[in-house]
Chains A and B, each alone.
Chain A
Amino acid sequence: MALSPEAIEKYIRHHLAQAAQEKGVTLPEIDGQSNLLDLGVLDSLGFVQMLMGLEAEFGLEMDLTEMDPEEFTSLQGLVDTALKTSQAA
């Protein structure tokens, strides 16, 4: 899939909606600053699964080694991280 901020955000939102449905909970409103671990939908492992799905979908390999999880666990932060990776590649 072509890489654009919209496409990445759409992927994340879709994944969250699915995870919420599987868990049988209602997905709260999400804006760019929302931390995706605080939604009551994903635990840390679930988050990593989403991250890996995102990488597979868009053919990315994000380097998180030097990053503070605070930076890539918000919706906007994750979109930015993914975009940054594709530009570096």
Chain B
Amino acid sequence: MAETHKYQSLYEGFLRAAAEYPDNPALWVDGESHTYAGLKSYAERLARAILAQETRSVPLAAVMGYRSFSSYASVLGVLAAGKGYVPLNPTFPPERLRRMLTLSGVEVLVASAEALELLGQVLEGVEGRLVIICPDEGGPGDLAQRFPAHLWLGPEVLETDADTPAPPAVTPGATAYLLFTSGSTGIPKGVAVSQGNVSAYLSYTIERYQVGPQDRLSQTFDLTFDLSVHDLFVSWWSGACLYAIPRRQLMGPGKFIRDHELTMWFSVPSLIMLMAQMRMLKASLFPSLRWSLFCGEPLPAKSAALWQEAANKSILENLYGPTEATIAISNYRWDREASPSVCRQGVVPIGQVFAGQRAAVVDRELKQVPNGGQGELVLAGSQVTGGYLNNPEKTAAQFVQRPDDPGATWYRTGDLVEADENGCLYYMGRVDNQVQVRGYRVELQEIDHALREASGSDLAVSVAYPPDSATVEAVYGFVAALSAPPEDKILAKCRVSLPDYMVPERVFLVDSLPRNVNGKIDRKALGLKLKEMIGGSKS
């Protein structure tokens, strides 16, 4: 299908809404509402400061903050200056932030008050001269004395009366935001998402969900997680209001949803799994929600069904998409009656790719597998990004040409999927989560499913030992549950549903499962834990 959307840059989309709804609330954060006109004024003043102080016109600028007014407004300020933004998350370790800062090559950094303490640690060992704008009250504080090599500016730079320059024209190929995904080598890979990529996503999404000025959207994702771009700009292109959920409330946002009568919910499934554990999902609890969207990790069917009852008037969709293909690229609409029996391994399908985007299920030679077969999901279309920042080797490995479809560039997701006869996609796990146990090919996801069933907990995961090896000795289970049955009961149940070679060697009942920076269950960290636990006796 041909694409019909009209390109606009992230900031143009915001400007259009701000012109139409200047007095509407655009952002609720820290107990206060901010109008479109207010945000626009802030963004323009910050943009002027950036353009006046920079010396090298780097196409990117960094924003470091966490769920504060200035952190959101600074994203707009950077875009208003015609640049792409690089979010730096103050909950990350300083070493990682230093890497991100250095790899991005930015000259300008906007740092909110809540980020300053950590910024001091990040700047240790950063070479070169940065322009650091601290727009909140109090300015840079003592950092200016501690790091005199940089140019430090306080909130006074926002108090200019200069004329508003026309926003610089931004081409579809320009970077809208630069994010980092974890690389297998431990060095984060930069993914530059273009204005054209994100414009395609937003046009499709706003049209599909008919988002308008009456809507109130959740903001659950940190700015370093690309799903946050949906939160911010689906809101700000539509005249809707974005609700930044305070950090502590994220573990049980039910009251927040009710108090603020949110209309669109978007989060990782883990968040609702946690709410389910605390019995926070009761029938008809969230009548204000029109849409319930989930993305970022497999959505267990049980969690989807529970949420659907709580948000009983909403339409629930499971979205899927890697950062490299811009936010999300496929969706599946949950149906109370039909969906539970459609789910495979107890996980909701990821559905069909968006109109205008392309997907194929391929084998190792990148040739399409017959329908119903398993293979790697590859993606093409206007949402697929141009590759990794300054990393031609990795780009060439992941962004490829296919023999049966010359001309297009396909992104290899590394995700293992199956397609049914209607083209509906089922996520089966990571291609590299396929391991060989005693000569058998095993999908760890299938064992996860058996563990979930046997333990009654959605927080169950299997890990191969030794980790990072294609041929493994055994698989171990980890279950985090309030009232999980004892290990021998879980194993007994697994033996009923799994062939012998797939039954975990042991199941460990743990207090919690490690999460990666985006809140997803971190199988890699569990692998290391496993190594510690049993490594001594095995090696």
Chain A residues close to B by CB (< 8 Å): 19, 22, 35, 37, 42-49, 51-53, 56, 61, 63-70, 73
Q: Please give, as numbers and ranges, the residues of chain B lying within 8 Å of A70 by CB-CB distance.
A: 246, 248-249
- The complex places the Cα of A56 from the Cα of B511 at a distance, in Å, of 15
State whether A65 and B277 are in contact (beta carbons under 8 Å apart), knowing that A45-B513, A73-B248 are contacts in the complex.
no
Chain A residue at minimum C-beta to C-beta distance from B273: A45
B274 part of interface (Cβ distance < 8 Å): yes
Which one of B256, B280, B459, B512 has the highest number of Cβ atoms from chain A below 10 Å of its Cβ? B512
Q: Which residue of B lies closest to A42 (CB)?
A: B512
A26 to B249, CA, bound (A): 26
Indicate whether A46 sits within 8 Å of B282 (C-beta atoms), given known contacts A37-B248, A67-B252, A70-B248. Answer: no
The answer to whether A52 touches B280, judged by C-beta atoms less than 8 angstroms apart, is no
A64 to B278, CA, bound (A): 7
Whether the pair B483, A35 counts as a contact (CB closer than 8 A) is: no
Contact flag A56-B278 (CB < 8 Å), given A22-B511, A46-B511, A64-B252: no
- Pair A45/B482 contact, Cβ less than 8 Å: no
When distances are taken between beta carbons in the complex, the residues of chain B under 8 Å from A47 are 251
Complex formed: what's the CA distance from A45 to B279 in Å? Answer: 14
Identify B280's interface contact among A19, A43, A64, A73, CB under 8 A: A64
Complex partner residue of A64 from B258, B279, B459, CB under 8 angstroms: B279
Q: Which of B10-64 contact A (CB under 8 A)?
A: none
Asked if B480 is at the interface (CB within 8 A of a chain A CB), the reply is yes
Task: Give the complex CA separation of A44 and B279 in angstroms.
Answer: 15
For A66, give the chain B residue with the smallest CB separation. B255
Question: Is A67's CB under 8 angstroms from B251's CB?
Answer: no
- Give the distance in Å from the alpha carbon of A54 to the alpha carbon of B242 in the complex: 36
27 contacts between A and B (CB under 8 A): A19-B511, A37-B251, A44-B251, A45-B459, A45-B480, A45-B511, A45-B513, A46-B512, A48-B251, A48-B274, A48-B278, A49-B482, A49-B512, A52-B482, A52-B483, A56-B482, A61-B279, A64-B252, A64-B278, A64-B279, A65-B280, A67-B252, A68-B255, A68-B256, A69-B251, A69-B252, A70-B246
Asked if residues A45 and B255 are in contact (CB atoms below 8 Å), the reply is no
Taking a contact as CB atoms closer than 8 A, the residue among A42, A45, A63 that contacts B274 in the complex is A45
Main secondary structure of the interface of A (DSSP, over half): helix
Instruction: Output the nearest chain A residue to B514 by Cβ-Cβ distance.
Output: A43
Q: A64-B279, A65-B280 are in contact. List 11 more A-B contacts (CB 8 A).
A: A43-B512, A43-B515, A44-B274, A45-B274, A45-B512, A48-B277, A48-B278, A52-B483, A65-B279, A69-B249, A73-B251
Asked if B206 is an interface residue, CB under 8 A from chain A, the answer is no
Cα distance, A63 to B246, chains bound together (Å): 21
Closest to A44 in B: B251
> Distance in Å from the Cβ of B156 to the closest Cβ of chain A?
33
Residues from 293 to 333 in B contacting A, C-beta threshold 8 Å: none
Q: Once bound together, how far apart are the Cα atoms of A74 and B444, in whole Å? A: 38
User: When chains A and B are docked, how far (Å) is the Cα of A31 from the Cα of B57?
Assistant: 50
Within 8 A of A (CB), among B364-389: none
Contacts of B252 in A (CB 8 A): 64, 67, 69
A67 in contact with B248 (CB, 8 Å)? no
Q: Which residues of A contact B248 (CB under 8 A)?
A: 35, 37, 69-70, 73
Q: Please report the C-alpha to C-alpha distance between residue A45 and residue B460 in the assembled complex, in whole angstroms.
A: 13
A66 proximity list for chain B (CB < 8 A): 254-255, 258
Are B480 and A49 in contact, with the CB atoms below 8 A? Answer: yes
In the bound complex, what is the Cα–Cα distance between A35 and B247 (angstroms)? 12
Q: How far is the CB of A31 from chain B (nearest CB, A)?
A: 17
Residue of B with least CB distance to A45: B512
Q: A45-B512, A46-B512 are known contacts. Are A68 and B249 too (CB-CB below 8 A)?
A: yes
In the assembled complex, the Cα of A67 lies from the Cα of B249 at a distance in Å of 10
Residues of A within 8 A of B255 (CB): 66-68
Q: Which residue of chain A lies nearest to B258 when distances are taken between CB atoms in the complex?
A: A66
Contacts of A35 in B (CB 8 A): 248
Measured between C-beta atoms, what is the minimum distance from B206 to chain A in Å? Answer: 31
- Which residues does chain A contribute within 8 Å of B482, judged by CB atoms? 48-49, 52-53, 56
Are A65 and B511 within 8 A (Cβ)? no
Residues of A within 8 A of B513 (CB): 45
Give A73 to B248 CA distance when docked, in angstroms.
8
Tell me, yes or no, whether B153 is within 8 Å of chain A by CB.
no
Across-interface contacts of B277 in A (CB, < 8 A): 48, 52
Q: Contacts of B274 on A, CB cut-off 8 Å?
A: 44-45, 48
Are A65 and B251 in contact, CB atoms less than 8 angstroms apart?
no
CB distance from B270 to the nearest CB of A (A): 8
List B contacts of A22 (CB < 8 A).
511
- Chain B, residue nearest A69 (CB): B252
Give Cα A46 to B282, complex, Å.
Answer: 22
* Nearest A-chain residue to B277, judged by Cβ: A48
State the 5 A-B residue pairs at the shortest beta-carbon distance, nearest first: A52-B482, A44-B251, A45-B512, A46-B512, A69-B252
Q: Which residues of A contact B511 (CB under 8 A)?
A: 19, 22, 45-46, 49
Q: How far is the CB of B143 from chain A (nearest CB, A)?
A: 24
How far, in Å, is A37 (CB) from chain B's closest CB? 6
Q: Which residues of A contact B280 (CB under 8 A)?
A: 64-65
